[in-house]
Amino acid sequence: MPRAKVSRYGVIAGNKNLYLIEDFIEKPGVQEAPSNLAIAGRYVFTPEIFEYLENLAAGKNNEIQLTDAMRKMVRERAMYGLRFEGTRYDIGNKLDFLKTNVIFGLKSKDLGREFRAFLKEVV
């Protein structure tokens, strides 16, 4: 993740490609981010995560943040992250959501040709 974009995501502190995670921070400012390793939003949890979620107050943006529950959980249990190599599509903002739909729409075997023709028409 480019450092300038860390304020859009939850990020971790850790080392190498397999990380023993030390902390999670939800949408930190660039100066507060412990790394440029964004949380990609794919998790495997034990059922205990629900206990942490049940006991949370609203956090960033006045929302219950999964990252806040993860932050409490990592203080009591080992949690790991794997560095993802490949293309990450951020569908959490409107423009990137649209871009991602165009990318996959054009690759579609059943709709790609018709979709490409449509885009040429409107562009």
Answer for the pair 28, 64: CB distance below 8 angstroms, yes or no: no
Asked whether the predicted pLDDT for residue 15 surpasses 70, the reply is no
Q: What is the pLDDT of residues 34-51, one digit of tens each?
A: 988 888 878 899 999 999
* Domain ranges across the chain: 3-88, 89-123
pLDDT in tens, 78-119: 999 988 788 888 878 899 999 999 999 999 999 999 999 999
> Is the distance from CB of 77 to CB of 48 less than 8 angstroms?
yes
With pLDDT > 70 as the criterion, what percentage of the chain qualifies?
Answer: 98
Tokens of 23: 């902390």
| CATH top class, domain 3-88 | alpha beta
Residue 82, H or E segment? strand 80-82
Instruction: Output the pTM of the full model.
Output: 0.62
Residue 118, CA distances (Å) to 54, 99, 102, 114 in order: 47, 15, 11, 6
